[in-house]
Amino acid sequence: MSRFSEKAVLVTGAARGIGLSIASAFSAEGAEVFIADLNKEAAEAAAAEVSAATGKRVRGLAVDVSDSGSCSSCVGEVVAGCGKIDILVNNAGITKDNLMLRMKEEDFDSVIAVNLKGSFLMSKAAARYMLKARAGSIVSIASVVGQTGQAGQVNYSASKAGIIGMTKSMAREFASRGIRVNAVAPGFVRTPMTAGLSEEHRAEMLSMIPLGREGEPEDIANAVLFLSDDRTSYVTGQVLAVNGGMYM
């Protein structure tokens, strides 16, 4: 039996990039996976892709993580389909970079609304069911810039630092009910979000990484599965840095 057989897993922002890799990894390990994304068609297409590769049923759902009603409906669909939700992965995120003095207020607000508030709303919706079951795992995707800061990313850095603080607070609140809450903080990872960087910027980033390479989405997926595994049931409130040594 695969290690996540009979587990119901919901991954947000999973139509591409790191989220898609996470969903694929869970499906390959036997989980019943739900791919949630703002674009339902993209979510359903990603679900079909993963299902074809793993032979497991995978379903695509629409969700606006910045809207509490949408989050509740999304989690409700998972529970309606499986009778439970075992694992939530908060991966949905956006960037709207600019230097602080040039950053529009609405660009700050929208990044916080999706990245930080979205993780809060999804966790709250899932926790209602996990608390009744007295079991569950929540893993949120933070970032190395939430630990170090980054010029031009005040909004994104703040949102990811907030996820780290929120993870630790939720872990303390939910531990007595058997729910574990952890985070993964990726470094420089090859994704559609980083594909548009100039070669100069890419070389600058690589020079800061002791392992001398970009991370792959699979590196992050492996960390998420590690934290979600029943074999790490004594791990909660932790931030697992997956950054090639970029920040230690």
Catalytic residue (one of 129, 156, 234, 247): 156
Gyration radius from the chain CA atoms: 17
The one-letter amino acid code at 156 reads Y
Tokens of 116: 């930080």
Separation of CA 102 from chain center = 28
List all residues 6 or more positions away from 201 whose beta carbon is below 8 Å from its beta carbon: none
- CA dist., res. 89 & res. 221, Å (int): 10
Neighbours of 216 (CB within 10 A): 14
Own/partner long-range contacts of 229-233 (Cβ < 8 Å, ≥24 apart): 229/3, 229/4, 230/3, 231/3, 233/180
The answer for 212, left when phi > 0, alpha when psi is -120 to 50, beta otherwise, is left
Does the annotation count 129 as an active-site position? no
The set of catalytic residues is: 156
